[in-house]
Amino acid sequence: MRKFTRNWFILIVCILLLSACSSGAINTATKSDDKGKKENDSADQTIKIGALLPATGVYASLGENVNNGMELYFEEHNWEVAGKKIEIVHEDSEADPQVSLRKLRKMIEQDKIDILTGPISTAVAYAIRDDVDKNKLPFLVSHAGGNDLTRSKRSDYIWRSSFSSWQIGHSMGQWAFNNVGKKIYLTAADYAFGHEVVEAFKEAYTNAGGEIVDEVYPPLGNNDYSSYLGKMNRDDIDGIYAFFAGSDAVRFVQQYEQYGLKGKIPLIGSGWLVAEDVRPQQGNAPEGIKSSIFWDYSLETEENKKFVEAYEKKFNKRPSIESLEGYDAAAIMAKAIESLNGDVSDPTKIVEQISSVELISPRGLIKFDKDTHHVIQDLYIVETVVVDGSTENKVIDTISQVVDPGK
C-alpha cells in the first residue's frame, strides 16, 4: 500500500512538472510570437520601392542618374512619407529582359516591394509587363518610352511619368513645317525606339502638309556616318530630322559638321541629339541644332532652378534628363503614398492615387491621362547656342500639354 501511495505521489509530481514545463513553453512561444509580431509591425513602417535600373553595361549612367534623382527627392524629405520610412531596393536590370524578369520576381517574393519603378530599356519593360500585371504590382515607368506600354500593353497597374516616343517625335512635326521648311529628310538609329520617334514626327509633319523626301537608318552603335551623310547632302531639302542618342549622337553631330552639312542644311531632331550628357563631347558642332524634349537644364522656372541647384550641390555635376525623371517619379510616388496616409496594402488604391497626382515639377505641369495611363506634359523646342566658348541649350518655343493618343 505504501509502495502504491508513493508511486501515485511520484506520478502527480511528474504531471505537475510537465505542466509547468508546458506552460513555460507556451509562454515562451507566446513571447516569441509577440516579439515577431512587433518586428513585423516595425517592418510595416517601411515602404519599399523597387528600382529596376541598369548599373552595368551601356545604359549604366542612365540608370545611375534616375536613381540619383530619386535619392535627391527622398533625401529632401528625410526618407519619410506619411510617417513611414522609404527604402529603395535597387536591382541591376543589366538592360537584359530575362535577367530583369528574374530580378523582378526576387523583389516581389523576397524583398516584398510595394511599388516598382524604372526601367531604362523598353524591351525590359515589355518583358516584365505580364508579371507586374499578374501580381497586381503598382509600376510607375520612369524612363522606357516605347509606345505600347501605354497602348496595347497597357495594364491597370502600369502608369508612365516619363515620355512616349510618340510625344517626342510628334511634338516637332507641325513646328518643323512652320519654322524649317516643306521638305525634310529623315534619319535615325535602326532600332524600335528610333523608328517610333521618326514615325511620330512623319505623321505630324505630313499632316501639316510637309513632304518626306527620303529616309535612312544607320545601325545602332554606328561609327562612320559618311556614306549616310553623303546621301543627305542634297539641295532639294529644307532640313534633316534625326534621332540619335548617347555615343551615336556624339558621332553623328560631329560628322555632320565635318562633312560640310552644318550651316548648309538645318539639323533638327529629338533632345537626346544635344542632351546634357553628350554636348560636352561634341564641342561646338551642335551649334544651331533645334530639338524637342520635355525638360532642359536651361528652363527658367523656380522649380527647375531649385532642382538644378540641389542636384549640383549633392552630386557635384549637372542633372540629366534621366535625373529629372527619377526626381519626378519619386515625387509622384510620395504624393500617392501621402494621400493614402502611408497605407500601401491595397495596390488598386495606390494606382488610383498615382493617377490623380498633378504637380508642378522642374519640367512644368504634369498630370496623367486616366485613359492611357500616360503623362501629359509640355514639350519644349530648344536651340543649341555657344555661350562663353561652350554650348548650351535655350528654350525657344513650347508645345503645351501634349497628350499621347493611346493607340
Q: Which domains does the chain have, with CATH numbers?
A: 47-163+301-370 (3.40.50.2300), 166-293+381-402 (3.40.50.2300)
- By CB atoms closer than 10 A (0-12, 13-18, 19+), residue 5 is exposed
At 386-399, the pLDDT tens digits run: 999 999 999 999 99
Which region holds residue 231: left if phi is over 0, alpha if psi is between -120 and 50, else beta? alpha
Judged against a pLDDT cut of 80, whether residue 36 lies above it is answered with: no
Least-confidence region, from 12-26, 187-201, 300-314, 351-365: 12-26
Question: In sequence order, what are the residues at sequence separation of 6 or more whose Cβ sits closer than 8 angstroms to the Cβ of residue 78?
Answer: none
DSSP state of 287: T
What is residue 2's predicted lDDT score, i.e. its pLDDT?
44
Q: What is the pLDDT of residue 63?
A: 95
Cα–Cα nearest to 67, from 90, 48, 97, 94: 90
- Grade residue 45 by pLDDT with cuts at 50, 70 and 90: confident
CA 63, 66, 70, 71 torsion: positive or negative?
positive
The pLDDT of residue 38 is above 80: no
Q: Where are the alpha helices (DSSP H) in 208-301?
A: 226-232, 246-258, 279-282
Residue 37 pLDDT exceeds 70: no
Contact assessment for residue 92 and residue 53, using Cβ atoms and an 8 Å cutoff: yes
Distance CA(198)–CA(193), nearest Å, equals 9
The predicted model gives 366-393 an average pLDDT of 97
Q: How far apart are alpha carbons 292 and 229 in whole angstroms?
A: 22
Q: Per-residue pLDDT for 39 more than 70?
A: no
Give the model's confidence band at 42: pLDDT under 50 very low, under 70 low, under 90 confident, else very high.
Answer: very low
Largest pairwise CA distance in the chain: 126
Q: Check residue 264 and give its pLDDT.
A: 97
Per-residue model confidence (pLDDT) at position 58 = 79
> pLDDT category, 59, cuts 50, 70, 90?
confident
Radius of gyration of the chain from its Cα atoms, rounded to whole angstroms: 28
- Of all helices (H) and strands (E), which one includes residue 392? strand 390-402
* Average pLDDT of span 164-179: 97
Please give the pLDDT value at position 407.
Answer: 87
Q: Say yes or no to pLDDT of 28 above 60.
A: no
Q: How large is the average pLDDT for residues 45-66?
A: 94
- Band of pLDDT at residue 35, cut at 50, 70 and 90: very low
Q: What is the pLDDT of residues 3-16, one digit of tens each?
A: 444 444 444 444 44
Please tell me whether the peptide bond between 97 and the residue prior to it is cis, using omega within 30 degrees of 0. Answer: no
Q: How far apart are CA 128 and CA 382, in angstroms?
A: 34
**Mean of per-residue pLDDT scores for the chain:** 91
Return d(Cα 8, Cα 14) in angstroms, integer: 10
Q: In the structure, what pLDDT confidence band is assigned to residue 44 with cuts at 50, 70 and 90? A: low
- Residue 18 grid cell: 510537465
Give me the half-sphere count of Cα atoms (radius 13 Å) on the Cβ side of residue 251: 16
* The pairing of beta strand 290-293 with beta strand 374-387: antiparallel
Q: What is the dihedral of CA 245, 246, 248, 250, to 10 degrees?
A: 110
Q: Residue 184: is its pLDDT beyond 50?
A: yes
pLDDT of residue 43: 46
